[in-house]
Structure 1
């Protein structure tokens, strides 16, 4: 696969800010970016029970099968790993001595539960992120600066959260690596706009997939949103590959040189009002893509007009499996020959097109 730097370039997109465009003509199915997470942390609240029916490794986030041995952290009883290798890697990265001590304090301090009960449940997950951010600063200050360079500005609610989390967490780390209230707020704002979800496995009979972890991929954050995207994200978190938490961006259709490449920030195929609400509540903008313009004017005739490009797109690229509705993209071309097999980025289903 060619380097992403030879396939993509960043440009200012009118009305959007920075975005990613094709540096040359690209084919449907091409993998245009594979990226490891800059920061990765559990989506499980500190105290409230997780919504996930699965237990995951606290480093790679693969499901821990019930019949296999698990490897607990030797310093605490709260974190387990799928292998000795994951435990060793975690002790030198995601679950360092400082992280372990901080999480033990938050989980076992007699006042922690009471303090967190005075805040919304999301504060417990944000605490995990701020602990992970301190750890990132300890390991690599330059990577923390990369995280801080991403888009996102704190509002008053984020500053309130930052004051609370800073008072609890910063004193648990070495003084030279303690993050200020302002930086804590900046980090929370970056996390809100730039984090991606790693999900539990799909099941056609349910329950609805839960979020097992959050991750930030700095390059991928520059893909703008479109309700009818020309690229989509794949992850293979429950595979055996050592890079199982990497994100893969694959093209859905051919993209000419100079055209912007967009992903959807949620599963495609949702109605206009739902999309508009999610984008404003979660990302703070109103989408001006061609599909939204048409639907806002009521020109789609209730999405019954099969001649409209977005209607044809949805019929071809929305997975039809029960409880799925993921995005289907072609497999990578072989020897420049396009594939006629589509893969769903949500359930992993394959479909051959004639």
Structure 2
């Protein structure tokens, strides 16, 4: 397979169907946006989705491969550009170079970031404005992928095919349906997919607004080699979208420390509930979603965005801080009513 074909495949594969008879269907409402329902009756334990990542990032640099997130062991392939990124094999190094890690793109930006002691590459430990749940580096990774995608849009592929053949039509002919199978959305570029993600940007009176503006401004300046196509407001929105739609990844079931973060375009369509009927976990860089209870056909499939063991107020505050909503799911409403009844009885 030549380089152009590999590049096209890498960009399109994360949005390609793994199965035509998906147990999940997508629906849309003005109130809730996009959400997923069961296409047919589902039994507890059934596998609902295996979603490949649109983007990943290893938190534990030097321990995990920065492409596939597997353990490096005693060996690793260091990036020749000197940015500090390691890969588990020459194949992963080549794949990264073709999809996001170019020497004059992400590699250059990371070298500059690492040389500036006022910025942290590990979740913002020295960068007071950084978001603790998604590091600055993940935004850099996604911007690098967008830059590679943009550079390929006009590249001619074999047999006269162009990359535009695997992207959404620019004239808007491909419109959202009120219901479609999850895996029908194969003809969407990464750029268009990111634009459709919910961002949950804080309002002007939100305390997070000021530091978000400062962080977006700094990142916009730092990522000019790869982010020059985006305005500062677009960078700010992308930062919020990544924060709200990213999943923490673990190197194995035994590992308690987070190994990385991933963006999953299909899984991001699942809404939150404090009494979810499904749960997700990763196997390497793939995100698996399983039903935890029986789910009837047509019922919404939900997962929890926060730790279910936390109390009502802790859950709500966590959801408000990261996702900008105050949870009023059935379980939260019930717990709130019970607490009110107990308070009145005292």
Unaligned segments of structure 2, at least 5 residues: 1-16, 121-125, 151-188, 203-208
Match of 1:308 in 2: none
CA distance in 1, matches of 2:222, 2:18: 45
Report 1 or 2 for greater relative contact order, CA contacts < 8 Å, sequence distance ≥ 6.
2
Q: 1:295 to 1:153 in 2, by over 3 A?
A: closer
Alignment of 1:95-106 (within 5 A): 95-97=101-103, 98-106=105-113
Cα deviations across residues 33-62 of structure 1 (Å, max 9, x unaligned)?
111111212336xxxxx8xxx821121122
CA distance in 2, matches of 1:233, 1:210: 17
Superposition deviation, residue 103 in structure 1: 1.1
Superposition deviation, residue 151 in structure 1: 0.3
Verify the 8 A CA contact 1:229 1:264 in the aligned structure 2: yes
Match of 2:212 in 1: 158
Superposition deviation, residue 143 in structure 1: 0.7
Cα deviations across residues 164-196 of structure 1 (Å, max 9, x unaligned)?
1111211x238xx53221211111110121111
Superposition deviation, residue 221 in structure 1: 0.9
Match of 1:173 in 2: 226
Cα deviations across residues 83-112 of structure 1 (Å, max 9, x unaligned)?
22222222222322221122112223xxx2
SS, match of residue 288 in structure 1: coil
Unaligned segments of structure 1, at least 5 residues: 45-49, 238-244, 303-354
SS, match of residue 84 in structure 2: coil
Q: 1:251 to 1:300 in 2, by over 3 A?
A: farther
SS, match of residue 99 in structure 2: coil
SS, match of residue 185 in structure 1: helix
More deviation, 190-199/74-83: 74-83
Superposition deviation, residue 21 in structure 1: 1.1
SS, match of residue 26 in structure 2: strand
Match of 2:190 in 1: 143
Using structure 2 for the length normalisation, give the TM-score: 0.70
User: What is the aligned counterpart of 2:68 among 60, 70, 74?
Assistant: 60
CA distance in 2, matches of 1:147, 1:85: 27
Verify the 8 A CA contact 1:19 1:260 in the aligned structure 2: yes
Q: 1:260 to 1:124 in 2, by over 3 A?
A: closer
CA distance in 2, matches of 1:292, 1:173: 43
Alignment of 1:75-114 (within 5 A): 75-76=81-82, 78-97=84-103, 98-108=105-115, 112-114=116-118
Cα deviations across residues 248-302 of structure 1 (Å, max 9, x unaligned)?
1111121111111101113333222221221122212222222212211227999
CA distance in 2, matches of 1:4, 1:227: 30
Verify the 8 A CA contact 2:279 2:292 in the aligned structure 1: yes
Q: 1:236 to 1:115 in 2, by over 3 A?
A: closer
CA distance in 2, matches of 1:123, 1:71: 28
Q: 1:125 to 1:231 in 2, by over 3 A?
A: closer
User: What is the aligned counterpart of 1:183 among 234, 237, 240?
Assistant: 234
Q: Tell me, yes or no, if structure 1 residue 267 matches structure 2 residue 307.
A: yes
SS, match of residue 297 in structure 1: helix
Superposition deviation, residue 138 in structure 1: 2.2
CA distance in 2, matches of 1:290, 1:13: 19
Superposition deviation, residue 3 in structure 1: 3.0
CA distance in 1, matches of 2:268, 2:242: 11
More deviation, 124-133/268-277: 124-133
Q: Tell me, yes or no, if structure 1 residue 128 matches structure 2 residue 137.
A: yes
More deviation, 9-18/267-276: 9-18
CA distance in 2, matches of 1:123, 1:24: 38
Q: 1:128 to 1:4 in 2, by over 3 A?
A: farther
Using structure 1 for the length normalisation, give the TM-score: 0.69
Alignment of 1:197-208 (within 5 A): 197-201=248-252, 203=254
Match of 1:312 in 2: none
User: What is the aligned counterpart of 1:246 among 286, 292, 297?
Assistant: 286
